[in-house]
Structure 1
Amino acid sequence: MTIFGSALVTGASRGLGPHLARRLAADGWPVAVNYRSDPAGAARVVSEINDKGGKAQAFQADVTDEASVRGLVEAVFTSLGAIQVVVANATGPQPFIPADEVTWQQHLDQLVFFVKSPTLLMQATLPGMKRLGTGRFIHIGSDMFERALPGASAYNAAKGAQIGLARTWARELGPFGVTTNIVAPGWIPVERHGEITDENSGDYRSEIPLRRMGTPAEVADVVAFVASDASRFVNGERITVNGGHTID
């Protein structure tokens, strides 16, 4: 896709976020590295991108807060130009709670990240995308929706809502040249998972046709594809990146 503006990656200071930001920067996107409470992590990502000849800047914002999102989008516009790509990657704690114990507030906690935050981001960035006549909104999903693991009812319900949200946006925003898609990883080890060994991952790997764990770079490659002109006619889709783990 012709680059007219910038790419915003939320929650980009840790986990999958740095990999997504670095990959987009490698494709030439000026990248807004969003963080909420990890300035050191965001600074490292920005430094890595800039040291390799890319362009990036860190932006602190709580993407679940309306005023904070508006300020974020304005700040990115001033520094990097209109936001042309949004990667809604930020997430919060995902506790496993038995269904007969989960509270409504715990449901809301998940909806805040997977429905409220993307909605705020879309509403704040859509005017700029309309002016550009093109845009990409990319949700980071999860294959947990298919796996339906016990204890994850609040998380899975929110991920189901995310799917409905993306599909509806695909119809509503498409006429403006804006596509909406979901990239849904399986278990992709990042620093919060600690050391991955044969003992703690063997059962999972045995269920994957490719018989190995995926890597953050492999998720980032798919995000880069969805952000690119190569995906210009892909809209309302959910691309699962899990080695075939949840093949029907």
Structure 2
Amino acid sequence: MNIDLKGHLALVTGGSGQLGRVMCRTLADCGADVAVHFHQNRASADRLVAELTGKGVRAMSVQADVTVQADVQAMQSRVQAELGAPDILVNNAVIQYTWTSVLEQALSDYESQFRSSVLHNVLMAQAFVPAMQAKGWGRVIGINTECAMQNAPTQSAYVAGKRGMDGVLRVLAKEVGPQQVTVNQVAPGWMISEDVPDGDEAADYRAGVPLRRRGTDQDIANLVAFLASDLASFISGQYISVSGGNVMPTI
């Protein structure tokens, strides 16, 4: 059984970042053409595009602030003109900030997380999903987090944004399902990536994971590729944890 994405076009927001770059590589390895979104790091995105085209697929980098409607609409126009209409959308970008207690967290941090988690997904859906509906096939994959279930101290702004994102995407799944567009969420744990090694500081975290280890960025990319494929054509509206059992969605 193979994951074959030939003939499909994926757009990955935050595509040159820690998890995003491996998603882009994996989607390309499955045959998909890939649009790599970036906000500030053009050089990193362009290097990744060169790597992807070396795999024999079409690829491009595209800049946008995914929390701004005009930027997202302009991105849609640029990708459409160069590669066509994406039918796989991976909403991965997020704004980073310093975590602290609810009593001390700046209100601007709650606003930034709302913009990067909720508005990001709304704006991307409004710009790109209509073409999927017209085609009668599409995949929307939001990158959530295990934190949305943990609700640990200092996580409040991040959790608030990601829980809002969860609500938006569950509603979207019901609205666009009749046109065979699936909408799902992948929720990483604290993953190992090129920029985030598995050091001694993670010992307590590893000890709390049933598998007693941390996963990798490739574990996330594998699930994204599966959800993007026809193998997952009857899976929609789901929040899927990739955390080694560290969090367990309940029924």
TM-score relative to the length of structure 2: 0.93
Which residue does 1:196 correspond to in 2? 198
Unaligned runs of 5+ in 2: none
Q: How does 1:1-248 map to 2 (within 5 A)?
A: 4-193=7-196, 195-197=197-199, 199-247=200-248
Q: CA deviation at 1:149?
A: 1.5
Q: CA deviation at 1:104?
A: 3.0
Measured in 1, the distance between the counterparts of 2:166 and 2:134 equals: 26
Contact kept, 8 Å, 2:12 with 2:90, in 1: the verdict is: yes
Measured in 2, the distance between the counterparts of 1:157 and 1:95 equals: 15
Measured in 1, the distance between the counterparts of 2:137 and 2:49 equals: 26
Contact kept, 8 Å, 2:28 with 2:55, in 1: the verdict is: no
Measured in 2, the distance between the counterparts of 1:2 and 1:157 equals: 34
Q: CA deviation at 1:196?
A: 2.8
Measured in 2, the distance between the counterparts of 1:94 and 1:196 equals: 22
1:123-169 per-residue CA deviation (whole Å, 9 max, x = no partner) reads 00122112211111100000001121201111111111111111111
Q: How many residues align?
A: 246
Q: CA deviation at 1:120?
A: 0.5
Measured in 1, the distance between the counterparts of 2:226 and 2:90 equals: 12
1:189-220 per-residue CA deviation (whole Å, 9 max, x = no partner) reads 23453x432x2111111111111110101100
Q: CA deviation at 1:5?
A: 4.3
Measured in 1, the distance between the counterparts of 2:214 and 2:43 equals: 28
User: Which secondary structure does the structure 1 equivalent of 2:213 belong to?
Assistant: coil
Give the superposed CA RMSD.
Answer: 1.5
Unaligned runs of 5+ in 1: none
Aligned identity (percent) is 38
Q: CA deviation at 1:61?
A: 1.3
1:88-118 per-residue CA deviation (whole Å, 9 max, x = no partner) reads 0001113212111224322111010110011
Does the C-alpha gap of structure 1 residues 39 and 59 become closer, same or farther in structure 2, counting only changes over 3 Å?
same
Amino acid at match of 2:223: V
TM-score relative to the length of structure 1: 0.94
User: Which secondary structure does the structure 2 equivalent of 1:83 belong to?
Assistant: coil
Measured in 2, the distance between the counterparts of 1:213 and 1:85 equals: 27
Contact kept, 8 Å, 2:9 with 2:35, in 1: the verdict is: yes
1:33-85 per-residue CA deviation (whole Å, 9 max, x = no partner) reads 01011111101211111112222111111111111111111111111111101
Measured in 2, the distance between the counterparts of 1:223 and 1:3 equals: 15
User: Which secondary structure does the structure 1 equivalent of 2:184 belong to?
Assistant: strand
